Chains A and B, each alone.
Chain A
Amino acid sequence: MAYGIVDLSKNLFGIKSDSSKLRKDEFWALENISFDLKRGGILGIIGVNGSGKTTLLRLLSGIFPPDTGEITIKGKIGALISVGAGFHPHMTGRENVYLNGTILGMSRAEIGSKFDDIVNFAELGDFLNAPVSTYSSGMRVRLGFSIALHIEPDIMIIDEILAVGDMGFKTKCYNAIEKITQKAAVIFISHYMPQIARISTEILVLNYGRSVYQGNNVHEGIEFYTSQFEKSQASVSGSGKARIKKLKLYSDGDMSHALDPFRLQYLDNLYVEIWFVLDPGIRDAIISLAFYDKEMRGGAECYSNNSNFSIINHGDIIRSRVKFEKLPLNPGSYSLTVTISDQDQKEIFLKYHAIRDIQVIGSFIGFSSVQLQAEWSDI
Chain B
Amino acid sequence: MKKTETRNQKVTIYKPNQRHELGFFETWAVMSKNIVNSRELIWQLFKRDFFASYKKSFLGITWIFVAPIMGIVSWVFLNMTGMLRPGDVGIPYPAYVLVGTSMWGLFMGFFNSAKETLSAGQSLVMQVSYSHEALLFKQTAQHLANFLITFFVNIIILIVFKVIPSWEIIFFPLVILPLFFLGAAIGLIASMISIVAVDISRIINMGMGLLMYVTPIIYSDKVNNVTVQSIIEWNPLTYLVCSARDIIIYGRLYHPMGYLICFILSFILFMISWRLFFVSEDKIIERMV
Interface residues, chain A, with chain B CB atoms under 8 Å away: 1, 4-5, 7-8, 11-12, 14, 16-17, 19-20, 58-59, 61-77, 79, 81-82, 85-86, 88, 90-91, 95, 98-99, 102-105, 107-108, 154
Interface residues, chain B, with chain A CB atoms under 8 Å away: 6, 9-18, 20, 40-41, 44-45, 47-48, 52, 55-56, 123-130, 192-193, 195-197, 200, 276, 279-280, 282-287
Find chain A residues with CB under 8 A from B12 CB.
62, 71-74, 77
Known contacts A4-B197, A85-B128, A88-B52: does B41 contact A102 (CB below 8 Å)?
yes
Known contacts A91-B52, A102-B41, A103-B130: does B14 contact A59 (CB below 8 Å)?
yes
Give the secondary structure class of A's interface.
Answer: loop
A81 to B196, CA, bound (A): 24
Inter-subunit contact B9/A75 (CB<8 Å): yes
A102 to B41, CA, bound (A): 6
10 additional contacts, CB 8 Å, given A8-B280, A64-B283? A8-B196, A8-B283, A17-B17, A59-B14, A65-B15, A65-B17, A74-B12, A86-B45, A103-B44, A108-B40
Which 5 residue pairs are nearest across A and B when measured between Cβ atoms?
A4-B196, A62-B129, A71-B14, A85-B127, A102-B44
Q: How far is the CB of B254 from chain A (nearest CB, A)?
A: 31
Find chain B residues with CB under 8 A from A81 CB.
126-128
Inter-subunit contact B286/A16 (CB<8 Å): no
Find chain A residues with CB under 8 A from B193 CB.
5, 8
Find chain B residues with CB under 8 A from A4 CB.
195-197, 283-284, 287
Inter-subunit contact A19/B124 (CB<8 Å): no
A19 to B105, CA, bound (A): 41
Known contacts A1-B196, A11-B276: does B284 contact A65 (CB below 8 Å)?
no
Chain B, residue nearest A104 (CB): B128
Q: List 16 A-B contacts (CB under 8 A).
A: A11-B20, A20-B16, A62-B14, A64-B283, A64-B286, A65-B18, A71-B14, A73-B12, A74-B11, A77-B12, A79-B127, A79-B129, A88-B52, A90-B52, A91-B48, A95-B48
Inter-subunit contact B197/A1 (CB<8 Å): yes
Inter-subunit contact B276/A12 (CB<8 Å): yes
Contact of A71 among B13, B129, B195, B196 (CB under 8 A): B13
Chain B, residue nearest A55 (CB): B289
Inter-subunit contact A58/B130 (CB<8 Å): no
Contact of A64 among B130, B192, B282 (CB under 8 A): B282
Known contacts A1-B197, A8-B196: does B129 contact A66 (CB below 8 Å)?
no
Inter-subunit contact A19/B44 (CB<8 Å): no
Known contacts A88-B48, A91-B52: does B126 contact A70 (CB below 8 Å)?
no
Inter-subunit contact A70/B13 (CB<8 Å): yes
Known contacts A82-B127, A102-B41: does B56 contact A5 (CB below 8 Å)?
no
